[in-house]
Structure formats: structure tokens, C-alpha cells
């Protein structure tokens, strides 16, 4: 991200500043959802009428979902320690990003957001703050929190709170990666249980992606997790417990070693770390997800020159197959909120993957083609995940997540009648 900003010309930088400053500062506001045009309305909105729902919620806490905005309100919370590619900017400087996340929630899934930037110098203070404000919300989206603290923060909050806590940098990325990979493997005629996977990057996104792929059938012994010092192997010193779960018995020590005969490469690391020679050493019909932004681990032009038989994805919108978290988090929370879920569990992660996978295999409607100025698009090597402006995402992803919440016993209310009663994604 820092490099991306430096590459922007002065005109574009000024446009970005103007966008955030005018005609009123920021990107989010608060809207009144009920009539408040008379003394009578005011008496219902505030005193004395407001005392009635207060009493009802005091009697039964879940009635807050009926009488307040709790059931459609998510907190997007950061401590500013890992803001995009900018690093530790501090809490206040993370606010434009958190507001932006709120825009995406509202635009794509009609979920309301309060962005909250927490100035906490320890993980314990951050957890204490989030726990204290949690009753306001129907869900919490953790954002841009540095590893490894993000793992413990999410774990403790999930164990403590009775609302969904979802760290998008972990699970959001993992869900989109998994959906795209399942479709790429389908095209390449490979099965997830048989493939060799290399993951370059052992932070939040990499570890979560590997965990989810294991839940979907990948074999841990067929994975090679690679960090700045090389392959994570049994007996290597100085690795934390999170990386240690992926230590394997192997003679591979370098990225080049790990890439030999690999079926899949997933990069969540940095620019230009993979060479064409490495790709040439991979198995036939490889899948390459080079997700470093703005410069991938290997540029598509280099990758395709090295291997004509590959399927490739990046994190960029100007290349095919963008791995974009906006395909996930708005609709995952939409489904969770619509059944008053207590958590977002593994079953719901898998349901979101299946929803995205299924939607990409459906014919693309004209309105989506128009939005992207395309004449034609169909499931294949250059289209393995849906596009963000596909209006069917809510139907496919949110409904699958809601159904999984109900079926796994973490929902407070039944599966909504207005959702599709046949979940196509469940057949995958």
C-alpha cells in the first residue's frame, strides 16, 4: 500500500483527498430510520415512549434485536497496528480505512457500521475495550490488527462474547482464496485432497487460509508454509506456536525447494519473490495465487510466459481473478445478523466458500457485464470468483451462511422465510 500511494500521481492524490473531504468530511453518516416530525413522534422516539422498549429489553435481552438497531449494526474495530501495507499507523490514522470498510458493508449488504479506532498499547486493553462496548452491536469485524496478537484477540473475544467476532484479514481472505482455489482446481481437473500446496507468507491471511483449506479436505502433510527464513519444518528453531502447527517432515528448506512439483502456490507476502523458473518447476496445470498488493509475488505477464497451463489470481482489479474480500465479509455478516447468530463458526466459513464457488459457475447476467464493461464472461481460467457488483451474492452467500448458522446451532432465530429455501451451494 505504501508503494501504491507513492505510485499515484499528484492529481490522483488530490482527488483522493477531495473525495474524503468534500462536500462533508468522511465517508459515513447516521440516518434516522423513523418519522420524527411532530411532538407525538418525539414522544415515541424519546421520553416517555422510549421507556417501554427499555423495560422489554431489561426483561429479555434478545429483544434488543427487535427494538433497536443491534441486529443490523456491526462494529469495524482496529488498533491501527497493521493498516493495509502501511504498517503501524496508529489508531487515528486507520480511521479512513475503517470508514471505507463501513461503506462496503452498507453498499453491498445494507449492514450499518460504526467504525471504532481503539488507542490501546496492549492486547489486554484492546480486548477490555471491545468487550465493554460489545452490547451495542450485532457483530464485530476486527480489522488491520498485527499478527500474532490478532490470533489471541479474536480467540478471546469469541470465547467471551455472544455475538459474531470475525477478523477479516484472517478469515475473509481465507474464504475468498478457498472459493477461487476450489474452482481453479475444478478447471484443472485436480482434487483438493491430492494436491501439494505452497503458501508464502505465514501471517494472519496465510495461516487462516491453510486452516480453511484443511477443513475443505487438503492434507496438512502436503502443505509447505514458507516465511522470511524459509520452509517451516519439524525441528526448525524460533517459530511461534501458530506457525508450528504447519511444521512438516521435509528436506525442503527454501521457497524454490518447496515449489518443485507443487500444484498450488498461494502468496500473501511481498512483491517479486517468485521467479518464472520456480513456476516452471511446478506440477502440470498449476494454480498460482499471487496476492501481494500492488505488486504481486510474480507479475501475470511473467507467470504466463513461464507456464501456459496455469490459472492465476492476484489481489488487483486490473487483472482477471481478483481475490477481493468484499465478496465475503458483507454477506457473511448479513447472513449471521439475519439469524441473530452468536458466532461465525467454521461451518459458516465453509458455507460462504460454497456459496461463492457455486455462484461463479452460474451464467453471468447482463447487468454485471454492463457494470464491468464486458461483452462476455463465463466460468473458466479467467473467471473463478464472482465479481463484487453481482447482485446475486446476497442470495448465494448470505443465505448459505444463515442456513449453516441455523444448522450448526448458533442462531437465535429460524432461517428467514425471505431467503431461498433451496441453497444451491450446499450441493457442492
Mean pLDDT for each 10-residue chunk of the chain (428 residues)?
60 90 92 94 95 96 96 97 86 95 96 97 96 98 92 96 96 97 98 98 94 97 96 93 94 97 96 97 98 93 97 94 96 98 97 97 95 94 96 95 97 93 72
Q: Within a domain: residue 288?
A: yes
Domain boundary residue, one of 143, 163, 183: 163
Distance CA 386, CA 243 (A): 31
- Give yes or no: residues 156 and 55 share one domain: yes
- Give yes or no: residues 70 and 109 share one domain: yes
- For residues 170 and 143, is the Cβ–Cβ distance under 8 A? no
- Give yes or no: residues 364 and 394 share one domain: yes
- For residues 144 and 169, is the Cβ–Cβ distance under 8 A? yes
Distance CA 146, CA 411 (A): 30
The predicted structure's pLDDT at residue 426: 64
CATH of the domain at 304: 3.40.50.720
Q: Within a domain: residue 9?
A: no
- Give yes or no: residues 27 and 153 share one domain: yes
Q: Which three cell numbers stand for residue 282?
A: 511446478
- Give yes or no: residues 27 and 94 share one domain: yes
Order of strands, sheet of 112-117, starting from the edge strand that comes earlier in the sequence:
112-117, 73-78, 139-142, 165-167
Q: Within a domain: residue 152?
A: yes
Give the length of the chain.
428
- Give yes or no: residues 105 and 40 share one domain: yes
Q: Within a domain: residue 320?
A: no
The predicted structure's pLDDT at residue 293: 85
Question: What is the longest distance spanned by two Cα atoms in the chain?
Answer: 77
- Give yes or no: residues 254 and 182 share one domain: yes
- For residues 342 and 405, is the Cβ–Cβ distance under 8 A? no
* Alpha-carbon dihedral angle through residues 186, 190, 196, 200, given to the nearest 10 degrees: -20
- Give yes or no: residues 118 and 194 share one domain: no
- Give yes or no: residues 114 and 36 share one domain: yes
CATH of the domain at 106: 3.40.50.10380
4 φ, ψ to 5°? Answer: -60, -40
Domain boundary residue, one of 128, 163, 198: 163
Q: Within a domain: residue 3?
A: no
Q: Within a domain: residue 12?
A: no
**Residues recognised as catalytic:** 46, 101
Half-sphere exposure of 283 (CA within 13 A, CB side): 17
Distance CA 409, CA 176 (A): 24
Q: Which three cell numbers stand for residue 8?
A: 499515484
- Give yes or no: residues 248 and 364 share one domain: no
Domain encompassing residue 90: 20-163
73 φ, ψ to 5°? Answer: -125, 125
Buried b (16+ CB within 10 A) or exposed e, 194-219: ebbbbbbbbbbbbbbbbbbbbebebe
Number of domains composing the chain: 3
Q: Within a domain: residue 13?
A: no
- For residues 206 and 232, is the Cβ–Cβ distance under 8 A? no
Q: Within a domain: residue 197?
A: yes
Beta-sheet pairing, 73-78 with 139-142: parallel
- Give yes or no: residues 338 and 397 share one domain: yes
> For 197, which DSSP code?
E
- Give yes or no: residues 156 and 32 share one domain: yes
Q: How many helices (H) and strands (E) does the chain have?
A: 19, 10
Domain boundary residue, one of 293, 314, 335: 314
Amino acid at each position: 500500500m505504501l508503494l501504491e500511494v507513492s505510485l499515484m500521481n499528484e492529481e490522483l492524490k488530490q482527488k483522493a483527498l477531495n473525495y474524503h473531504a468534500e462536500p462533508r468530511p468522511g465517508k459515513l453518516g447516521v440516518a434516522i430510520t423513523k418519522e420524527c416530525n411532530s411532538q407525538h413522534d418525539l414522544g415515541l422516539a424519546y421520553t416517555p415512549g422510549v421507556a417501554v422498549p427499555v423495560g422489554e429489553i431489561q426483561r429479555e435481552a434478545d429483544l434488543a434485536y427487535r427494538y433497536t438497531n443491534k441486529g443490523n449494526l456491526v462494529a469495524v474495530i482496529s488498533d491501527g497496528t497493521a493498516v493495509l501495507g502501511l504498517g503501524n499507523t496508529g489508531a487515528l490514522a486507520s480511521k479512513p480505512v475503517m470508514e471505507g470498510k463501513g461503506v462496503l458493508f452498507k453498499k453491498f449488504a445494507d449492514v450499518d457500521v460504526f467504525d471504532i479506532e481503539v488507542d490501546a498499547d496492549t492486547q489486554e486493553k484492546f480486548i477490555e475495550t471491545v468487550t465493554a462496548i460489545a452490547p451495542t452491536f450485532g457483530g464485530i469485524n476486527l480489522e488491520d490488527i498485527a499478527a500474532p496478537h490478532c490470533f489471541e484477540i479474536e480467540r478471546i473475544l469469541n470465547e467471551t462474547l455472544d455475538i459474531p467476532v470475525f477478523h477479516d484479514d484472517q478469515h475473509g481472505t481465507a474464504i475468498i482464496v478457498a472459493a477461487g482455489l476450489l474452482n481453479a482446481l475444478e478447471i484443472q481437473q485436480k482434487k483438493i485432497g491430492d494436491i501439494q500446496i505452497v503458501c508464502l507468507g505465514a501471517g494472519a491471511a496465510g495461516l487462516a487460509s491453510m486452516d480453511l483449506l484443511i477443513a475443505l479436505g487438503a492434507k496438512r502433510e502436503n502443505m509447505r508454509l514458507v516465511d522470511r527464513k524459509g520452509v517451516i519444518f519439524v525441528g526448525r528453531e524460533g517459530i511461534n506456536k501458530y506457525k508450528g502447527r504447519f511444521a512438516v517432515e521435509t528436506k525442503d528448506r527454501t521457497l524454490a525447494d518447496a515449489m518443485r512439483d507443487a500444484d498450488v502456490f498461494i502468496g500473501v507476502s511481498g512483491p517479486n519473490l517468485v521467479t518464472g523458473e520456480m513456476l516452471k518447476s511446478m506440477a502440470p496445470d498449476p494454480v498460482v495465487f499471487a496476492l501481494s498488493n500492488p505488486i504481486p509475488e510474480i507479475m501475470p505477464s511473467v507467470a504466463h510466459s513461464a507456464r501456459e497451463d496455469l490459472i492465476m489470481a492476484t489481489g488487483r482489479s486490473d487483472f482477471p481473478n481478483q481475490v477481493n474480500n468484499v465478496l465475503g465479509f458483507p454477506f457473511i455478516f448479513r447472513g449471521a445478523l439475519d439469524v441473530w447468530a452468536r458466532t461465525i463458526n467454521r461451518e459458516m466459513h465453509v458455507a460462504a466458500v460454497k456459496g461463492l464457488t457455486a455462484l461463479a459457475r452460474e451464467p453471468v447476467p447482463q447487468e454485471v457485464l454492463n457494470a464491468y464493461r464486458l461483452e462476455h464472461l463465463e466460468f473458466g481460467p479467467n473467471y473463478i470468483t464472482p465479481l463484487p457488483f453481482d447482485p446475486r451474492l446476497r442470495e448465494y452467500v448470505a443465505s448459505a451462511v444463515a442456513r449453516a448458522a441455523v444448522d450448526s446451532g448458533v442462531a437465535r432465530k429460524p432461517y428467514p422465510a425471505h431467503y431461498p429455501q433451496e441453497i444451491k451451494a450446499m450441493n457442492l
